[in-house]
Chains A and B, each alone.
Chain A
Amino acid sequence: MTTTSRSVISSGAERAGRRWSRRLAVLLLPLAVALPPGTADAEYADVVLNRLSEAADMAPVIFPHWFHRVRFRCKVCHSDSELGFKMRVGANPMDMQRLQEGEYCGACHNGQIAWGLENCELCHSGKMGLPTHIKGGHETSGPGRW
Chain B
Amino acid sequence: MVLLAGLAMTSPAVAQEAAPKHKPLAEDGLHDPDLPGVHMLQEPGDVLGHLPATTSGNLVDWNKAVRDGYIEPRATLLDRGEVKTLDLDIYLPNTGDAKVVRFPHLEHSEWLDCNNCHPVPFAEEVGATPMSMLEILMGEYCGICHGAVAFPLTECSRCHSVDYDDYLKIRDQQRR
Contact = CB atoms under 8 A, between A and B. Distances in A.
23 contacts: A29-B5, A33-B8, A43-B48, A44-B57, A45-B58, A45-B148, A62-B30, A66-B60, A70-B71, A70-B73, A72-B77, A74-B149, A75-B113, A121-B37, A123-B37, A125-B41, A130-B30, A138-B147, A138-B154, A140-B56, A142-B54, A144-B155, A145-B12
Q: How large is the interface on A (under 10, 10 to 19, 20 to 34, 35 or more residues)?
A: 35 or more
Interface of A: 26, 29-31, 33-35, 38-46, 48, 59, 62, 64-67, 69-76, 78-83, 87-89, 107-108, 113, 119-128, 130, 134-138, 140-146
Nearest 10 CB-CB pairings of A with B: A121-B37, A144-B154, A142-B55, A30-B8, A142-B56, A45-B149, A30-B5, A136-B148, A42-B28, A44-B57
Q: How large is the interface on B (under 10, 10 to 19, 20 to 34, 35 or more residues)?
A: 35 or more
B23 A41 contact: yes
Contacts of A87: 116, 144-145, 148
Contacts of B8: 30-31, 33-34
Question: At the interface, is chain B mostly helix, strand, loop or mixed?
Answer: loop
B106 to A, nearest CB: 14
A26 B1 contact: yes
B116 A79 contact: yes
Given A75-B116, A136-B152, A144-B55, 13 more contacts: A34-B12, A45-B149, A46-B28, A66-B58, A79-B113, A82-B77, A119-B37, A124-B35, A134-B149, A141-B152, A142-B16, A142-B56, A144-B154
B98 to A, nearest CB: 14
Interface in B60-108: 60, 62, 71, 73-78, 83
B130 interface: no
